[in-house]
Amino acid sequence: MRDQGGVVVNIASVGASVNPPGLGVYGASKAALVHLTQQLAVELAPGVRVNAVAPGVVRTALSRSLWEGREAAAGANTLLGRLGTVEEVATAVAYLVSDDAAWVTGETLVMDGGERLA
């Protein structure tokens, strides 16, 4: 990639910047991934762009225990009043790998429906 160029998009988590009880190791690993994203952006520029997306709660099998049976209540914790979708995260990744984001590197796009602000 260094010779021909390329794009890396890491999938982090809003857990990198919040501290829910019992998820410290998970949050620390995601914070490390955010840092690694920035470090790789420095080391691989200018030929390779490196970014990350950091979703909040998205309706996936992995996060099922956080929303199943109480999706409306879980979504109520966000400014937008709902959980995210896999498609929304995929759209953000598609943007970051596209030429539309040709001047974006070393960034982490938080996608949590405004939960951190609520």
- Asked whether the beta carbons of 12 and 37 are under 8 A apart, the reply is yes
The string of DSSP codes covering the chain is -TTT-EEEEEE--GGGS---TT-HHHHHHHHHHHHHHHHHHHHHTTTEEEEEEEE-SBSSSTTHHHHTT-HHHHHTTSTTSS-B-HHHHHHHHHHHHSGGGTT--S-EEEESTTTTT-
Q: Which of 26, 28, 39, 94 is catalytic?
A: 26
Give catalytic status of residue 26 as yes or no: yes
Catalytic annotation, residues: 26
